[in-house]
Amino acid sequence: MAKTAAQLSIIRDRTDDMNTSAARETIGFIGLGLMGHGIAKNIVDKGYPLTFLGRKNRKPAEDLLGRGAKEASTSRDVAAASDIVFICVTGSREVEAIIRGPGGLKEGLKKGSVVVDCSTSDPVSTVALAAELKALGIDYVDAPLSRTPKEAWEGTLDAMVGAPDSVFARVKPVIETWAGRIVHIGDTGDGHRMKLLNNFISLGYAAIYSEALALAEKVGISPPRFDSVIRNGRMDCGFYQTFMRWTLEGDRDAHKFTIANAFKDLTYLESMAGAAGIANPLGNATKNSFAGAHATGPAEQFVPMLATHIGKVNGVDLMPTKDGKKQAI
């Protein structure tokens, strides 16, 4: 029996879908933290076969399994199951262990595969790893992130990518599953260099806001009065708005980036400036603001809580009140 034009169109569409699915890269993912869980969720939800490395916190793993992803027990097993492996962990020390350590990616990566580091890493380490893997026929990409876990979950992160043109073209469709804005900044290593510059600016803002709030309180201008001038003025920005939600509202989850990670990134910036032979006095001043908070505060404190720490050092109370009660870091 002859098929109608509509039936033939449906068959063609299904064939195209099957061919697209068959052509899709298999993806590996390591690092289901605050950012990584949302990124991995978007990769699998948008049709890519995903194999991930589980962790002690089982909630992200169970969520991904429910979405159709597969779990592996070692980094080597993730590599063996994948064409492209994404890493999203704290920094270079962790990335190097994942790649080079026992049961690591190097033991399972196939020639022609790609590793994409979404961590905020030291560019010196990034370039060294890229050369090491290139000798094995494996490409290395740095694609660090900007924005927060909220945007990671929504698939609207910013990504700054360092990769040769042909490798960027290969990984871009996967990055598009979780990023709303993708900038191909240059070759491998340039993504991490730009990320450190980006964080220098944002964390510099945080240090300035914190000191300004402490000084304002010291001279009798409360955080709400301070905010009434800055908000909606020329000095306002998206970073300011999420930063201030802790001091003004006691919202500890508005900007979930830890002081420990901020301090780590600023030490990487210091190293990069030293290697480039440039004086970096403002970077060092920013690093020292976070160093004090990191040394004395609990590990789980987030960047906006720097204001509370700077206030305490200067004898003013910037601990926020929520529902009539003082909050605790």
CB distance 100 to 94 below 8 Å = no
CATH superfamily of 194-326: N-(1-d-carboxylethyl)-l-norvaline Dehydrogenase; domain 2 (1.10.1040.10)
Per-residue pLDDT of the chain (329 residues; tens, 9 = 90+): 444 444 334 334 433 443 344 368 999 999 999 999 999 999 999 999 999 999 888 999 999 999 999 999 999 999 999 999 999 999 999 999 999 999 999 999 999 999 999 999 999 999 999 999 999 999 999 999 999 899 999 999 999 999 999 999 999 999 999 999 999 999 999 999 999 999 999 999 999 999 999 999 999 999 999 999 999 999 999 999 999 999 999 999 999 999 999 999 999 999 999 999 999 999 999 999 999 999 988 777 999 999 999 999 999 999 998 877 788 77
CATH of domain 5-188: 3.40.50.720
Catalytic residue at 195?
yes
Please spell the DSSP secondary structure of 41-53, one letter per residue: HHHHHTT--EEEE
User: Which residue in 106, 111, 134, 195 is the catalytic one?
Assistant: 195
CB distance 91 to 67 below 8 Å = no
5-188 matches 194-326 in fold: no
Could you state, in order of their start, the residue ranges of all structural domains in the chain? Answer: 5-188, 194-326
Q: Looking at residue 62, what is its pLDDT?
A: 97
Contacts of 308 (CB under 8 A, 6+ apart): 246, 247, 318, 319, 320, 329
Q: Looking at residue 56, what is its pLDDT?
A: 85
